[in-house]
Amino acid sequence: MIFFHLTNDDCVLESRFKSESHAGIPVFYDDNGVMEAVSDYMIYKCITDTDAASSVQTYADQLQKFFRFIDSYSDDTKKLTWDRVTDAHLIELRNIMTEEGRSPNYIRNCLETVFKFYEWAEMNKYIRKHVAIYDDDNEYLISAKRGKTKRWVWPYYPRAVVTHKQTPTNEQLEKLHTIVIEESGSAGLRDSLLLSIYERTARRAEALREIKVTSIPDWDEIEESLSENKIVRIEITGKRGRKRDLQFLPETMELAREYIEGDRAEAVNAAKRRNKFYKEPSELFVGETTGNPLSLQYMSTRISRLMKKAGIKATGHRIRAKALTDIVAAYDGFDERGNPYSGEDILIRAAEHAGHSSISSLRPYLAVSRSAGLASKLNNIERLRVIETQLNLKQKQLATIEELEPILSAIRNGEGYEEELIKLLEDSVD
C-alpha cells in the first residue's frame, strides 16, 4: 500500500547556511519504506517552490492516487515501477478516472501534477532520457510539448471544461452569517468571524495559519481605532512569500477580541484540564472541543455544508471571489480632475492588495464591481455584517435565558424547581 504522512516540527532540513524545522511535508512510503524520489519532490515543492502547504497536500493526494494505480497495475510478470511508466499508462489512468465520473478539470489537474513530478525527476537525474523535454526528434516514454507559456506540458490531457461558478451576493452572505450563528453552537462566533476574514480576501490557509492571537489589537487599540474611524491592518504572508495587509473595521476586531476572551479561552482552558502537556497554539482559530489549530480540510467541509444550508451553490473559496470583486470596487473611482481611473490602474492597485502576481486574473471582477456599483458600499457592508452578527449572538443568548425562566421563577417563588428542570432536560432530548 502506498501512503504518505506529514512531517511535524521535529523535521529539520539542512541547507547550506542553516538548519530549519519544516512541518507539513508529505513523506511517501511503500512496502519497502520511504519512497525517496517522490518524497524529495515534496520537499522541493514545500521549500523551493514556496507553494502553500494546502496546495502541497493536494499534490500529495494526487500523486498518491497515481502511485496506487501503478502499484496495482499488472500486464506482465514484472511489477510496474514509476520509472517504467509510459504515455500508455498515463492514458489508461486518464480513462479510469473518466469512467469513475471524475470531471475533466479534476483529471487534468491530477495528470498535470504527475507530469510535473516526472519533469522534475528528469531534470534532477532521478530518471534519464525518459521525458521528452529536450527539443529534439528522439522518442521518449513520456511525451512533452511546449505550452502557450513555453513551459513543458503533457500532450494528452483531457480538454478542460470552463464552468460558471456562482459568487455569493451580499444578501446570501447575510443569510449565511445568520445560519452560522444558529447552527454552529459554541463555534458560531468563530465561524462567522472566519467568514468575515474570507470576505477581506484571505485565502483559507492565510486565515487559519497566518492570523495569530497576537495579530488582534487589544481593547485600547480597538477603542482608539473606533474613535478615530481608522482601518485596522493585519499583515500576513501569502503565496510565494508575498506580504500584504488585510484591512478590517475596528468593529470586526471587537468580535475577534470577544472570541479570544470568550469561546477560544474556554476551549483552551478545557484542553489544559484534559492534558497537562497541552500547549496553547498561536493561531487565532481553534477547535471548540480540542483547543488545537483547525484543519484546512475540516473547515472547508464545514463552511461548504453551511453554505449549502443557506442555499448558496458554491464553496467557501467563492467567498474570496466575492471579496476580490469588492476589493477591485474599493479602488474604483475618480481622480482629482473628476475623470474615472483607468481599469489598468485599478487592477494594479487591487492585485497588490489581494496578493495576486498578475492583474489579468482580476479583470472579470472589475466588470462585476462596476456593474454592481459596489465601490461606495464596502465599509457599510462590513459594518452591517458585524452588527447583524452581534444581534444574532444576543438573540441566541436571550433564547437560552427564556428557556431557563420557568426554573428561575420556581426558585424565586420557593417552589420545587426539580419538575421544571426535568421538563427542560426532556425537551432538550426531544
Q: How far apart, in whole angstroms, are the C-alpha atoms of residue 369 and residue 177? A: 22
pLDDT for residue 341: 47
Q: What is the pLDDT of residue 399?
A: 63
CB atoms within 10 A of CB 429: 6
Mean pLDDT by groups of 10 residues along the chain of 430 residues: 83 60 84 93 80 74 94 74 94 92 89 96 95 91 89 88 64 84 85 86 85 95 89 83 82 92 94 93 93 87 86 73 59 47 47 48 43 46 66 67 63 62 56
The answer to whether residues 317 and 165 touch, using CB atoms and an 8 Å cutoff, is: no
Residue for cell digits 520511504?
A: 34
Which domains does the chain show, CATH number per domain?
A: 3-153 (no CATH), 170-384 (1.10.443.10), 396-429 (no CATH)
Give how far Cα 377 sits from Cα of 63, 154, 179, 380, Å: 45, 46, 23, 5
Q: What is the pLDDT of residue 176?
A: 86
Give whole-number Cα distances, 282 to 191, 210, 216, 264, 320, in Å.
18, 10, 12, 12, 24
Quick one: pLDDT at residue 427? 60
State the pLDDT at residue 363.
Answer: 45
Distance CA 20, CA 83 (A): 31
d(CA 5, CA 7): 7
Residues 6+ apart with CB under 8 A from 82: 37, 38, 67, 70
Q: Which of 297, 306, 329 shows the shortest CA–CA distance to 172?
A: 306
For residue range 41-50, list pLDDT tens digits in order: 998 888 776 5
* One-character DSSP codes across 55-113: HHHHHHHHHHHHHHHHHS--SSSSPP-GGG--HHHHHHHHHHHHHTT--HHHHHHHHHH
Give the total residue count for the chain. Answer: 430
Q: How far apart are CA 169 and CA 322, in angstroms?
A: 8
Give the per-residue pLDDT at 77: 59
Nearest CA among 306, 274, 311 for reference residue 290: 274
d(CA 357, CA 343) in angstroms, rounded, equals 17
CB–CB of 100/52 below 8 Å?
A: no
Q: Residue 366: what pLDDT?
A: 41
pLDDT, residue 174, reads 80
**Contact indicator for 112, 157 with CB cutoff of 8 Å:** yes
